[in-house]
Amino acid sequence: MFMIFWINVIPVHSQCHNDQKSLLIQLKNGLLFNSAISVKLVNWTEATDCCDWKGVNCDQDGHVIGLDLNSEGITGEINQSSLFSLPFLESLNLANNSFQLEQIPSSFGNLTSLRLAVLDLSSLHFPETPSLLLENPSLLTLLQNLKGLIELHLDGGLLMFLFRISGFFPEINLDSNNLFAPVPEFFASFPNLTALSLRSSNLYGTFPEKIFQVPTLQTLQLESNSLLSGSLPEFPRNSNLKKLVLSETNFSGALPDSIGNLRNLSRIELAFCRFSGPIPNSLEDLAQLVRLDLSSNVFTGPIPSFQMSKNLSSI
């Protein structure tokens, strides 16, 4: 008895549309890139399906929805109308390239007509450009018009401008960047801010106390900024803070008794700071606490019992 098995191979996408392949070929031909470094652009040819090209992601209908040109050795300008004419583009990654720009390309304004949800411009290098001009359009205007944007990655020449536009995003992560700047107080005015992470970013000055009191804030991570000073404020009862990490900063002073108002707090790390005085008994009220690190400070007096913190696994 013979048994015959049929295996149907279902493609994850349809064949690339010719008009979109043409736009991508125009993009390639208009870019200056290092073919010895490139692993994507260098292999884009008209003889193959563009949905199979490295760096190109298509949906099931063959529409180009993602373009990843990260680390392709691109130099020169990127004012390509073909790049901004892909009508279904949702994700654009231009990170780790070296552009000869004095200002953000005016054609970037055309991104607002797309469905863009992810934009990565991180680690871009702008040779001999001490300050990139974000005009016509300004980055602020551009991002205001990108209504569907949910992920934005910026650093290098663009980092400092993120301070001005990040109110549009609930989560801000600028970890491990050489910002060499104080933390601006206007973070406290962002109505939807839920997470702010500025770890290892060479921050200095006094951290604005108002940021601690943002009612929507759930995560605040500032560790490994040795020149960043500050103190803890009085915490309101409506705080949603769940994670507070200030280790290896220059924060000092006493812990306020109102720290017991942070009933959602599961993690607090204040190691290697300059806090002093007694450890408030109100810490005993933090029933959600999982991790607590107060080491290498100058606290005095007894340690609270933490009997209500049933999930506390590290202290």
Q: Are strands 74-75 and 64-68 parallel, antiparallel or unpaired?
A: unpaired
- The more confidently predicted of residues 178 and 229 is 229
Closest C-alpha to 117, from 77, 160, 52, 66: 66
Q: Do residues 300 and 277 touch, judged by C-beta distance below 8 A?
A: yes
Dist CA 248 CA 223 (whole Å): 6
pLDDT in tens, 98-112: 766 555 566 666 666
Q: What is the DSSP letter of 207?
A: P
Is 170-315 in the same CATH topology as 12-169?
A: yes
Location of structure tokens 């180009």: 64
In this predicted structure, the answer to whether residue 171 has a pLDDT above a threshold of 70 is: yes
Q: Give me the amino acid identity at 73.
A: G
Between 39-53, 134-148, 216-230, the lowest mean confidence (pLDDT) is in 134-148
Query: Domain 170-315 in CATH: superfamily?
Result: Ribonuclease Inhibitor (3.80.10.10)
pLDDT of 154? 56
Between 62-71, 97-106, 241-250, the lowest mean confidence (pLDDT) is in 97-106
Which residues are CB-neighbours of 168 under 8 A, at least 6 positions away? 143, 144, 149
pLDDT of 128? 46
Alpha-helix runs per DSSP H in 74-198: 139-145, 159-165
Regarding the domain delimited by 12-169, which CATH topology (the fold level of the hierarchy) does it fall under? 3.80.10
Cis peptide before 236 (omega within 30 of 0): no
End-to-end CA distance of the chain: 68
Strand-pair partners of 251:
230
pLDDT in tens, 10-50: 445 578 899 999 999 999 998 889 999 999 999 999 999 99
Question: How is the chain split into domains, by residue range?
Answer: 12-169, 170-315
pLDDT in tens, 247-283: 999 999 999 999 999 999 999 999 999 999 999 999 9
Location of structure tokens 């016509």: 136
In this predicted structure, the answer to whether residue 288 has a pLDDT above a threshold of 80 is: yes
